[in-house]
């Protein structure tokens, strides 16, 4: 793979050094609670909303077998996934698992409980669902239908033409709402955004393994091609990571 010279600048090294916390030199800023960004992205003008089934957990799954066997799969059969499998994946990757009076916590940890990640499932092959681009409404464990159509090629192209995003039954596109974390962590927020996404990615792998599905995460993306597809600006919200899944071949 060829990288042009402007990709060889050391902005990554600079970021790592500049975003370090140093004793007695912590960035001083007062949290502006009046300007705290909203925790949930709300789509009010969707084609339709679809309620996901309550997740049904199979109690016979052995936790340590799941850990032991987790791996990336890149070969999928053309069999569809079920609506329940989609529901379990979404719940386990970002669902609300406990509510204290003012605050809804989730199945994944997040720095400061700020939850900057949004999930956009691209449905290629799920029984009972049209192919298309969806958004996960976390609060209501529902799907917002954003665009109907076959987007397998579009997403695979955005993943540096990786065919696994074409043959998969579902592609989860994870974006970061930068301001949600930056409100508190300023420039250091990027560290936490990526760490948060890693937690989601690991739950994704483990749930897929528990369900007997194949899964692979993808970090190699043409960011702005996918941002355009999602109709997001790539600055306040930007794609950061992708998970593809399907029945294992
Ligand atoms: C941050 C991250 C980015 C990745 N990006 C890709 C990718 O673009 N394409 C791909 O085929 N696999 C990708 N992978 C999967 C890794 O190649 C895989 O996890 C690694 O080879 C170890 O194999 P295992 O997951 O089967 O244990 C990625 C994994 C991570 C954690």
Mean pLDDT of 198-223: 98
Residue 225 above 80 pLDDT? yes
* Cα 219 to ligand 1 centroid, rounded to whole Å: 8
Q: Kindly give the number of the ligand 1 atom that is closest to the alpha carbon of 72.
A: 26
Distance 50 CA to ligand 1 centre (A): 31
Categorize the per-residue pLDDT at 119 as very low, low, confident or very high, splitting at 50, 70 and 90.
Answer: very high
Give residue 209's pLDDT band: very low, low, confident or very high (50, 70, 90): very high
pLDDT at 47: 87
Atom of ligand 1 nearest to the CA of 159: 8
Question: In angstroms, what is the span from residue 143 Cα to ligand 1's centroid?
Answer: 27
For residue 131, the CA-to-ligand 1 centroid distance in Å is 26
Whose alpha carbon is nearest atom 12 of ligand 1? Answer: 218
Q: Measure 195 CA to ligand 1 centroid, in angstroms.
A: 15
Output the pLDDT for position 45: 85
- CATH superfamily of this structure's domain 76-247: NADH Oxidase (3.40.109.10)
Closest CA to 194 of 249, 132, 117: 117
Question: Nearest to residue 202, comparing CAs of 16, 65, 66, 40?
Answer: 66
When pLDDT is cut at 50, 70 and 90, the band that residue 131 belongs to is: very high
**What are 39-61's pLDDT values in tens digits?**
999 998 888 999 999 999 999 99
Identify the residues whose C-beta falls under 6 Å from ligand 1: 71-72, 74, 162, 216-220
Distance (Å) from CA 201 to ligand 1 centroid: 10
Best substitution site from 197, 201, 218, 245 to test ligand 1's pocket, by max atoms within 8 Å of Cβ?
218
**Best of 68, 72, 172 for a ligand 1 pocket test (most atoms within 8 Å of beta carbon):** 72
Per-residue pLDDT band for 1 (boundaries 50, 70, 90) equals low
What's the average model confidence in pLDDT over 142-153? 97
Nearest CA to ligand 1 atom 19: 72
Q: Whose CA is nearest to atom 7 of ligand 1?
A: 218
In tens, the pLDDT along 179-200 reads 999 999 999 999 999 999 999 9
218 CA distance to ligand 1 middle (Å): 6
Measure the CA–CA gap between 131 and 133, rounded to whole angstroms. Answer: 7
Q: Note the pLDDT tens digit of each residue in 69-88.
A: 999 999 999 999 999 999 99
Q: Where are the domains of the chain?
A: 76-247
Q: What is the pLDDT of residue 102?
A: 84
Residue nearest to atom 18 of ligand 1 (CA): 72
Q: Mean pLDDT of all residues in the chain?
A: 96
Q: 3 pLDDT exceeds 60?
A: no
Band the pLDDT of 2: cuts 50, 70, 90: low
């Amino acid at each position: 793979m060829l990288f042009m010279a402007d990709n060889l600048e050391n902005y990554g090294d600079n970021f790592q050094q500049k975003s370090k916390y140093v004793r007695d030199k912590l960035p001083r800023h007062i949290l502006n609670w009046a300007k705290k960004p909203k925790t949930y992205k709300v789509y009010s003008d969707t084609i339709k909303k679809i309620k996901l089934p309550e997740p049904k957990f199979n109690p016979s799954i052995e936790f340590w077998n799941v850990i032991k066997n987790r791996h990336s799969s890149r070969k999928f059969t053309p069999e569809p996934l079920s609506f329940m499998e989609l529901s379990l994946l979404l719940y386990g990757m970002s669902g609300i698992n406990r509510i204290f009076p003012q605050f809804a916590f989730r199945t994944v940890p997040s720095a400061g409980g700020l939850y900057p990640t949004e999930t956009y499932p691209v449905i290629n092959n799920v029984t009972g669902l049209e192919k298309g681009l969806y958004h996960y409404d976390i609060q209501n464990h529902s799907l917002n239908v954003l665009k109907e159509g076959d987007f397998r090629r579009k997403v695979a192209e955005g993943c540096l033409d990786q065919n696994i995003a074409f043959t998969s039954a579902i592609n989860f596109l994870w974006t970061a709402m930068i301001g949600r974390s930056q409100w508190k962590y300023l420039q250091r927020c990027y560290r936490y955004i990526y760490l948060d996404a890693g937690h989601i990615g690991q739950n994704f792998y483990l749930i897929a393994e528990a369900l007997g599905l194949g899964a692979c995460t993808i970090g190699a993306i043409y960011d702005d091609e996918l941002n355009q597809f999602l109709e997001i600006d790539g600055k306040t919200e930007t794609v950061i990571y992708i998970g593809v899944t399907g029945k294992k071949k």
